[in-house]
Amino acid sequence: MEYIPLLVLIISFVGLLAIGTPVAWSIAISSMLTLLVSVPSLPALATISQRMATGLDSFALLAIPFFILSGELMNQGGIAHRLIAFAKSLVGALPGGLALINIISAMFMGAIAGSAMASASAMGSILGPEMEKEGYDREFAAAVNITSATTGLVIPPSNILIVYSLASGGASIAALFLAGYIPGLLTGLLLMVVTVFWAKKKGYGTGERSSMKQVFKTFVDAVPSLFLLVLVIGGIVAGIFTATEASAIAVLYSLLLGFAYKQITFKKLPQIFLNASSTTAVVMLLIAASMGMSWALSFEHIPQDISSGLLSITDNKIALLLIINLILLFVGIFMDITPAVLIFTPIFLPIVTKLGIDPVHFGIIMILNLCIGLCTPPVGSVLFVGVGIAKTSIEKVIKPLLPLFAAMILALFLITYIPELALWLPGLFGL
């Protein structure tokens, strides 16, 4: 009997996804069906509804709509062109220079906008045609854009790190933000290494070497955009304001910067607010449904059963982290990152903390892992955005994606087994 709730959950969730039910409703309905195993129908329905509503009653979650709006303002405010120009002055002369520019710009853009899809959209639209004009394969350009876009989910400020903080029951947002820098930069660096080898193999050309004067000029142009990172992260780490207050400040700064660059006008604001509201609604519904599922899982003691099962297999830290990583890699193929974090954090976090693994370290492992899923079919949202903008197909992009996947997986395992890569910066600031 103890495994019936888990079977009901898995079968109903997979079945609903298979018939095309939206992910959020699949999560909510399968949660209710799981609860029906041991609770009458009316209390089950009322409980899931209540848990979905109360799951959003969190001050920390207010940061998400603000950061989404800030990202939309940044995306529309002419930021991408300045970041690309700065990246071009740094690496444009190297083999595969335009692809390297894509990766560096995506790291900047993703960190500022906090959205992998916004980064993939901006970089793909601007750099994709340029790369094709310079003789790059369209599929390779798309693969670089897709994988590099996910680095912004690890490099702060990141909405998904805020979601993990909520799901973990209180991991410090400031510590998570600081912990994301080195893993995000390491992932980007490994993607660049693979890109250089691929470019040499395919004979992709190099651009002109920029003078120090050009580097300085493009850096000065990009400083106002990059200052947002200093403002937000510096303020949070220094204790001047909370992550939620920082998100509101980011909106104000992004708005003023967009007007200063003359890329945002009062006429454009309604559409910007509508885009941000639409994205926020999707994210919040996913969070609400996932909070309902988390409660149903807890009520049926499913996390404890899974924990006992995994610990009965092995209590070796290295082996257990490998198993959890493999499970999350599989989960990421079929589930979006937000519900995956909310559902699996309460399951795996108690296991890893028993083994002495820091919750902040595990949060970075989980986010890095699930970022890979955003680039894989059948539900990889960033994959679909990147392929759509490049006007190619998933089948054609898979081949150039494989070596880039290998780089991301290598980064994941380095972060997993060298915790100092994630914990050094938070420790430096006493977090």
Tally of CA atoms within 13 A in the half-sphere of 21 that contains its CB: 16
pLDDT at residue 408 in the model:
94
Q: What is the mean pLDDT of each run of 10 residues along the chain (431 residues)?
A: 75 84 84 85 84 80 81 76 77 75 80 70 76 82 89 84 86 89 93 88 69 83 82 80 83 87 87 86 82 80 76 84 91 82 88 90 94 81 82 85 93 95 90 78
Q: What are φ and ψ of residue 156, in 5° steps?
A: -75, 165
pLDDT at residue 422 in the model:
93
Question: Rounded distance, CA 145 to CA 385, Å?
Answer: 10
Cα angle 132, 135, 138 (rounded to 5 degrees) comes to 40
Burial 33-68 (b: 16+ CB within 10 A, else e): bbbbbebeeeebeebbeebbeebeebeebbbbbbbb
pLDDT at residue 423 in the model:
94
Q: State the greatest distance between any 2 C-alpha atoms of the chain, in Å, as a whole number.
A: 72
Domain boundaries, the chain: 1-55, 59-286+301-428
What DSSP designation does 273 have? H
pTM as predicted: 0.82
Burial 92-119 (b: 16+ CB within 10 A, else e): bebbbbbbbbbbbbbbbbbbbbbbbbbb
pLDDT at residue 412 in the model:
95
- Write out the DSSP string of 28-81: HHHHHHHHTTTS-HHHHHHHHHHHHHHHT--TGGGHHHHHHHHHHHHHHTTHHH
Neighbour-count burial of 158, counting CB atoms closer than 10 A to its CB (0-12 exposed, 13-18 middle, 19+ buried): buried
pLDDT at residue 191 in the model:
94
